A = this chain, B = another copy of it.
Amino acid sequence: MFTVHVGEADPRFGNMLLEQFGGANGELAAAMQYSVQGINCENMACKDLLMDIGTEELSHLEIIGTLARMHLKPMKKSADAAEHDPLIAIAGGGGVALCNSMGTSWTADYLKITGDLDVDLHSNIAAEARAKIVYERLINFCDDPGTKEALQFLMTREITHMRAFMQALDSLGKGPLSIGIIPPTPDIVDQYYNDSTGQGDQGEVDTTGPWNTQEGISVVEAPALSDFQVLKATPKAGRTTLNNGKARVTPGKTKR
Contact = CB atoms under 8 A, between A and B. Distances in A.
B100 A91 contact: yes
Q: Which interface class (under 10, 10 to 19, 20 to 34, 35 or more) fits A?
A: 35 or more
A184 B136 CA distance: 10
Contacts of A129: 118-119, 122-123, 179
B25 A91 contact: yes
Contacts of A156: 184-185, 188-189
Contact of A195 (B51, B107, B112): B51
A239 B104 CA distance: 28
A109 B129 CA distance: 18
Interface string A1-38: 11111111100100110010011110010001001111
A145 interface: no
A155 to B, nearest CB: 7
A13 B119 CA distance: 24
A36 B97 contact: yes
B67 A240 contact: yes
A79 B180 contact: no
A22 B32 CA distance: 11
Contacts of A112: 24-25, 126, 130
A227 to B, nearest CB: 4
Nearest to A209: B45
B62 A210 contact: no
Contact of A227 (B63, B167, B235): B63
14 contacts: A19-B87, A25-B114, A28-B32, A36-B96, A39-B96, A39-B231, A47-B207, A86-B102, A98-B108, A98-B111, A119-B130, A160-B188, A168-B209, A198-B225
Given A87-B101, A162-B177, 4 more contacts: A48-B196, A56-B224, A93-B116, A160-B190
